[in-house]
Amino acid sequence: MAVAARAALPLPHLSLPSTSRRSPRLSLTPSSAPRLRGGAATSVAAGTSAAPQQHQVTTRLGDVIEAQQFDRDALNEIFEVAREMEAVERGSHGAPSRVLEGYLMATLFYEPSTRTRLSFEAAMRRLGGEVLTTENAREFSSAAKGETLEDTIRTVEGYSDIIVLRHFESGAARRAADTANIPVINAGDGPGQHPTQALLDVYTIKREIGTLDGIKLGLVGDLANGRTVRSLAYLIAKYQNIKIYFVSPDVVKMKDDIKDYLNSKGVEWEESSDLLEVASKCDVIYQTRIQKERFGERIDLYEAARGKYIVDKKVLDVLPKHAVIMHPLPRLDEVTVEVDSDPRAAYFRQAKNGLYIRMALLKLLLVGNKSLDPCENAALFCMANVHVQILVHVT
């Protein structure tokens, strides 16, 4: 299988040809570290020596395909790297990062995207890498001529070091990963999953609320077709004492597979038709749009579902002061503009966090969790020090 043959990628700053990055990958992770793919541990391959201490890799991702592949240790490490990436991004104008210098990322998007595609491309460039991109690949790539996804992946991997794929079919990312000899990131596969969105969502909850254990989460809107809420439900189930409220029109209720999964993990959930009551109890209200593109010709069902649950001033009035409102965006009318000025409206901060999470994932996938080089560390320290001094002065 292609995935099993993947090998350790070189450390950055080494002028090696791209073909060497695709040789059978030998793990540099200690046997106790998660591989992050199905939770399996990976040991140092026989006949290889550990990397020097200053370049020790503690975690290396294989692919990012589904939310449930991550355990809590893996999530903690990704979030720690994301915090590091916040500093890298803030300092990128004065001291551009070279962590992924010499690496190429290919983005294959068969469905429309703004935030996901641009944040991945920005993430790669912020870390010194380059981007090969195709937008609307369903129409403007060889897929329009009948080329299979597998053939496209085999071709594109010859030009790049990592593939970010958005596709209209559920399961497409798994097919791509099974085909490719380089890492594949699922950027959304139809109504299936959107694992990087779930990662940035959980990261946002942690940053906004301060904890992940014990939270009450209201998932609102299109729960049947929304890959974001499906992935978030999978991921938040890793934490303790979670309660999830499902609030949706009947035609787009959460599917039984997610409910069964939550039951298997001991996660309490409840369906409700009263958004105001749910909002009064929750730490997080996660609103989603009703996805017209998933209804096909049944526009009547779409119109019946759209506009039933709207986050507006009435919701703000009952929402706890510490709580936040999140939305994966884009929005239509399901969150009114008047909500934007409330400090509990976290959706644009949430979108910015997508940059940091995707920077972290690209770093972990391509070079592992090694430290930044001394020059970058020094630059970031100076930048952070100046930032602190400014804050102190303003205060």
Which are the catalytic amino acids?
115-116, 145, 166, 194
Q: Residue 9: which residues within 8 A CB-CB, separation 6 or more?
A: 21, 25, 161, 366, 367, 368
| SS3 of the chain: helix, strand, coil, percent, to 5 | 45, 15, 45
Closest CA to 304 of 228, 220, 227, 222: 222
Supply 176's token pair: 């791509």
Closest CA to 367 of 183, 154, 108: 183
DSSP letters spanning 34-74:
B-SSTT-B-PPPTT--PPPGGG--S-----B--GGG--HHH
The Cα–Cα gap between 306 and 332 comes to: 10
The Cα–Cα gap between 258 and 99 comes to: 38
The Cα–Cα gap between 349 and 346 comes to: 5
Cβ atoms within 10 Å, residue 392: 8
CA distances (Å), origin 279, targets 37, 67, 71, 222, 349: 35, 25, 29, 17, 20
Catalogue the E-assigned strands of the chain: 104-109, 130-134, 162-167, 184-189, 216-220, 243-247, 268-272, 284-287, 324-326
Based on DSSP, count helices (H) and strands (E) in the chain, helices before strands.
13, 9
Residue 40 C-alpha from the chain's centroid:
20
